[in-house]
Structure 1
Amino acid sequence: FATKDLMLPCLSKQLLGMDCPGCGIQRSLWLLFQGQFLAAFKMYPAIYPILGLFAFLLLDQFYRIKYANTISIVLMITSVVMILANFVYKLF
């Protein structure tokens, strides 16, 4: 079976015919697992801030990090801004 068989379909794309803000994240993760880092970024630019946020939150569970709350907020805002910028870019 192909990897596309394992990926979840986008309900927004199926019903409305347009990408949602999360469209591309599964394919981007798959490209990362294949070692295609630039292609993963081109597919979904917010992949790196999102992964950085999850890695930081996981690390923060095991180690006491000074200013962890501020760092988390900055990573969250960066992720949201990149997700929305990518979504708007795809619209036009």
Structure 2
Amino acid sequence: MKLQPTIPAIAGQEYMLPCLNKQIFGFECPGCGVQRSFWLLLDGKFGEAFLMYPAIYPLILLLLFLIADRFIRIRYANTISITLMVLSVVSILTNYIFKLI
């Protein structure tokens, strides 16, 4: 049974982009759910955001690290960014494989 979290009525949600892959081919792409997950995070529903798109947290960590790295000199920044990128890709692919099953 797949859990479908309720999405709050936040201004701007009606402007979400539809998944063209799902509309054309009938199955979800690896990025399906990231917009809804982001809106759930903004609404403070962290568990529901994870259920919607588990890769949201590694992606946010990567984004925050890359922003911080632009302003602060971080030792081993290259190794940390590569590790976060690999973690993000693995979590996206794992989520996608579980959606297909």
Using structure 1 for the length normalisation, give the TM-score.
0.96
User: Using the alignment, how far apart are the partners of 1:31 and 1:4 within structure 2?
Assistant: 11
User: Using the alignment, how far apart are the partners of 2:31 and 2:54 within structure 1?
Assistant: 11
**Matched residue type, 1:63:** I
> How does 1:7-86 map onto structure 2 within 5 Å?
7-86=16-95
Offset at residue 5 of structure 1 (A): 2.0
1:4-53 CA distance string (max 9 Å, x none): 42100001000011000000000000000000000000100000000000
2:4 corresponds to: none
Using structure 2 for the length normalisation, give the TM-score.
0.87
User: Using the alignment, how far apart are the partners of 1:52 and 1:72 within structure 2?
Assistant: 10
User: Using the alignment, how far apart are the partners of 2:51 and 2:87 within structure 1?
Assistant: 17
> How many residues are treated as equivalent by the alignment?
92
User: Using the alignment, how far apart are the partners of 2:15 and 2:42 within structure 1?
Assistant: 14
Gaps of 5+ in 1: none
Runs of 4+ in 1 over 6 A off after TM superposition: none
